[in-house]
Structure 1
Amino acid sequence: MPSSLPISLSVVSESMVFPDQTSSLADLKLSVSDLPMLSCHYIQKGGLFTKPSFPIESLISLLKIGLSQTLSRFPPLAGRLITDKDGYIYITCNDAGVDFIHATATAFSVCDILSPNHVPESVKDFFALDRTVSYTGHHNPILAVQVTELKDGVFIGCAVNHAVTDGTSFWNFFNTFAEVCRGGKSFSRKPDFTRESILISKAVLQLPEGGPKVTFNVNEPLAERIFSFSREAILKLKARTNNKKWTTQNDEIATAAEILGKQSNDTGARVTAIIENWLIKNSKPQITDHVNNRTAEISSFQSLCALLWKAVTRARNLPESKTTTFRMAVNCRHRLEPKLEAYYFGNAIQSIPTYASAGDVAARDLRWCAEQLNENVTAHGNDRVRECVEDWEKNPRVFPLGNFDGASMTMGSSPRFPMYDNDFGWGRPLAVRSGRANKFDGKISAFPGRDGAGTVDLEVVLAPGTMSLLESDLEFMQYVSN
């Protein structure tokens, strides 16, 4: 729990929840993607919901029972970290249990949390294990669930050890938790706990006595805001990046593709693919990469990242010669050969940095900035993933999270994560929010918009002065819908 709770938030009860079945899963060795996260805070993500029609006591009981059943499908979350005599760190699936907190903050209403601009600081107190470093999973629970009762709603917040899960694994757990609570019987997203890939290494990570600390200043003043982008705005931005003309016909075809996707029970990602593929094929002119003799297509998300990179670089007023960094986390599950299972449990991510001078980022066009990102992401295939593993094995180290030179940005999370596919029995979330964890000047998190179909929310954390200038940047704000 936070060391000092606001007067308006009080804890009603705190208990341990255990799996409803005894685990038989063997200890899981932390991988080369897990170990660097030992210095990071626990992931803190959660959903804002309307208040159900049944009593809060029934809600708490429902969630506890559902959580107990879900933990039996995810035994590592109910375990602890252990270090053996050789320095290897494992998750022991010992059914030690997870924290469950019931709190009240009835001074807050749903509309307070749905602030269209800056995220209320009160939201940060809706999460347990605040600013807890993942290494402490040796004695702290790997997972904590806090249910906060609001005046007219409920917030379900989860804090989970970042050395145990990445975003893919976290949202698979959260989706399953919701499905169990609403009485689901068929689970197609069964987590894969195998530890047989190149990510499992013989290298030992040497850590200081007492464990690592976070690598950034947790006390620096920060401003935070969620910027929302409609589907139309993003498609217009993508068309601009790819030097294509946007017309109302594009929007009509995109709408038809969305309807078609829903009728055929396609996922949101599939609907987006239908829309974008049509636009790629039917928009002129095509942009040719003469070096590789192929058409270089910049994605919607890369276009959005490039727009933000340019705007934040302008707002920071950096010297033209200053090297800026835009860092993106990529999922390696499908990049490795042989591929990992889609629901491989653990971290399977690597960080891709793209470098460019502040002068180039600010002065060159959007297409150029997006191409730098596109080239790095496209090149990050099986060979590059393996090179990164080998590089880490030569020098095992924790992940240096932060903005050390004042010119860096780090994009995390993903608009493809199924954050709104969470109905616990009385409706989907109204919004997704995060806690204080792992936030510093330049930390960006990408969420899908609640409406789906290609909408995106960017949770942007910046120095207050930089945020103020970003909010007055006309090129950036013309695409923002809130």
Structure 2
Amino acid sequence: MGLSDIKLLKKWVSARLEMKAPLHLSSLVVTLAYVWVCLLKARWPSKTDHENDAEEHIIVPIDVRARLDPPLPVTYFGNCIGGVDVMCNRSVLIGKDGIAIAAKLIGKAIKNYDFYAQLERDLSYFMSIPKGQIEGVGSSPRFAVYDTDFGWGKPEKVEMNPIDGGQSIALSECPNEAGAIEIGLVRKKTEMDHFAYIFANSIEVLS
């Protein structure tokens, strides 16, 4: 997703929400909101109202070093990642203001994330969510994958395979445009065809 599209999304979301209080509206937040809604529209193009009332989830990884008590130093080298569980009714997400609502929910969840409260939810909770109603985020633009050099130069193209059977969203920085975000998805061809069309055309509607 290009930087101009990300800026457009931020402007559109801010206007739709008529924000009066600060909101964590980062490039990552608006990109995930847009991808999440486009995926749902591609997966449920002609479902009944009853089926559209299902609850959808997206799990967003978050750096929790600064959220521990006491916080870990920024120089800490190790695994210290939590997961933000964002939930919303499917019919709301695929509705007129779905992208703005998704961005607000994701931003609010990241801002208010409580690592210790989240620990009370065990693996069985996430396993209880029906497959097809949960999306995961498997990477971050901050990982700087295009800066990796094993001795033969930086990579021209990085592809990340999903580790959860094809339900994750891979995000990375873009090597050709500062501030842009690359999005990686693996889905069935019919769903990907729907997604590609919706992804390319929905942004034009917002402009």
TM-score by length of 2: 0.82
Correspondence 1:244-283 to 2 at 5 A: none
Query: Which residue is 1:470 aligned to?
Result: 195
Corresponding position of 1:309: 36
Q: Secondary structure of the residue that 2:141 maps to in structure 1?
A: coil
Q: Distance in 1 between matches of 2:159 and 2:63?
A: 22
Cα displacement (A) at 1:385: 0.6
Is the counterpart of residue 386 in structure 1 residue 116 in structure 2? yes
Select which of 142, 166, 184 maps to 1:459.
184
The partner residue of 2:63 within 323, 328, 331 is 331
Q: Is the alpha carbon distance of 1:468 and 1:477 closer, same or farther for their aligned partners in structure 2, counting shifts above 3 Å?
A: farther
1:426 is displaced (CA, Å) by 4.9
User: Does the CA contact (< 8 Å) of 2:169 and 2:185 recur in 1?
Assistant: yes
Instruction: Provide the C-alpha distance between the structure 2 equivalents of 1:331 and 1:401, rounded to a whole number of angstroms.
Output: 23
Aligned to 1:357: 89
1:213-252 → structure 2 map (5 Å cutoff): 229-243=1-15
Q: Deviations over 1:263-282 (max 9, x none)?
A: xxxxxxxxxxxxxxxxxxxx
Supply the distance in 2 between the matched residues of 1:238 and 1:400 (Cα, whole angstroms).
Answer: 30
Structure 1 equivalent of residue 77 of structure 2: 345
Indicate how the Cα distance of structure 1 residues 327 and 475 shifts in structure 2: closer, same or farther if over 3 A, else same.
farther
Change (3 A) 1:475 1:345: same
Q: Per the alignment, in what secondary structure is the counterpart of residue 115 of structure 2?
A: helix
Cα distance, 1:242 vs. partner? 1.5
Partner of 2:25: 298
Equivalent-residue separation in structure 1 for 2:125 and 2:145 (angstroms) = 25
Greater radius of gyration (CA): 1
Q: Counterpart of 1:444 in structure 2: which amino acid?
A: I
The whole-number CA distance in structure 2 between the counterparts of 1:334 and 1:452 is 30
SS of the aligned residue for 2:185 comes to strand
Q: 1:424 to 1:297 in 2, by over 3 A?
A: closer
* 8 A Cα contact 1:307 1:476, kept in partner: no
Residues 173-193 of structure 1, C-alpha deviation per residue, up to 9 Å, x if partnerless? xxxxxxxxxxxxxxxxxxxxx
Identity, in percent, stands at 21
Letter in 2 for 1:350: G
Deviation at 1:337, TM superposition (A): 2.8
**1:404 maps to which of 123, 130, 150:** 130
Offset, 1:477: 6.4
1:401, 1:432 → 2: CA distance?
Answer: 30
CA RMSD of aligned residues (A): 2.8
- Report the CA distance shift for 1:440/1:464 in structure 2 as closer, same or farther (over 3 A): farther
Q: Please, which runs of 5 or more residues in structure 1 have no aligned partner?
A: 1-228, 245-285, 289-293
Distance 1:378 1:327 in 2: 14
Does the 8 Å CA contact 2:24/2:108 hold for their aligned counterparts? no
Q: Distance in 2 between matches of 1:428 and 1:407?
A: 37
Helix, strand or coil for the counterpart of 2:138? strand
Give the Cα–Cα distance (whole angstroms) in 2 for the partners of residues 360 and 377 of structure 1: 20
Give the Å deviation of 1:346: 3.0
Task: Return the letter of the residue paired with 2:144.
Answer: P
* 1:357-376 alignment, distance < 5 Å: 357-365=89-97, 366-376=99-109
Conservation of the 8 A alpha-carbon contact between 1:231 and 1:454: yes
1:205-246 deviations in whole A, cap 9, x for unaligned?
xxxxxxxxxxxxxxxxxxxxxxxx1222211222222129xx
Greater length-normalized contact order (CA 8 Å, ≥ 6 residues apart): 2
Cα displacement string for residues 420-448 of structure 1 (whole angstroms, at most 9, x for unaligned residues): 2234455322122234x514243111111
How many Å apart are 1:343 and its aligned residue? 4.2
How far, CA to CA, are the matches of 2:187 and 2:63 in structure 1?
25
Structure 1 residue identity aligned to 2:118: C
Shift of residue 464, structure 1, vs aligned partner:
2.8
Alpha-carbon separation, structure 2, partners of 1:471 and 1:477: 12
What is the CA–CA distance in structure 2 between the aligned matches of 1:401 and 1:348, rounded to whole Å?
22
Deviation at 1:475, TM superposition (A): 3.8
Q: How does 1:147-166 map to 2 (within 5 A)?
A: none
Q: In structure 1, how many angstroms separate the alpha carbons of the residues matched to 2:141 and 2:129?
A: 23
Residues 397-406 or 457-466, more deviating: 397-406
Whether the 8 Å CA contact 2:146–2:155 is kept in 1: the answer is: yes
Decide whether aligned partners of structure 1 residues 243 and 405 sit closer, same or farther in structure 2, where only a CA change above 3 A counts. same
Counterpart in the other structure of 1:445: 170
- More helix by percentage: 2
Check the 8 A contact 1:242/1:297 in 2, yes or no: no
Q: Distance in 1 between matches of 2:170 and 2:140?
A: 7
The CA deviation at 1:297 is 5.0
Query: Is the 1:470–1:476 Cα contact (8 Å) retained in structure 2?
Result: no
Q: Report the Cα distance in structure 1 between the residues aligned to 2:89 and 2:126, rounded to whole angstroms.
A: 21
Distance between the aligned counterparts of 1:477 and 1:441, measured in 2? 25
Using structure 1 for the length normalisation, give the TM-score: 0.37
**1-side partners of 2:145 and 2:125: how far apart?**
25
Distance in 1 separating the partners of 2:186 and 2:35: 12
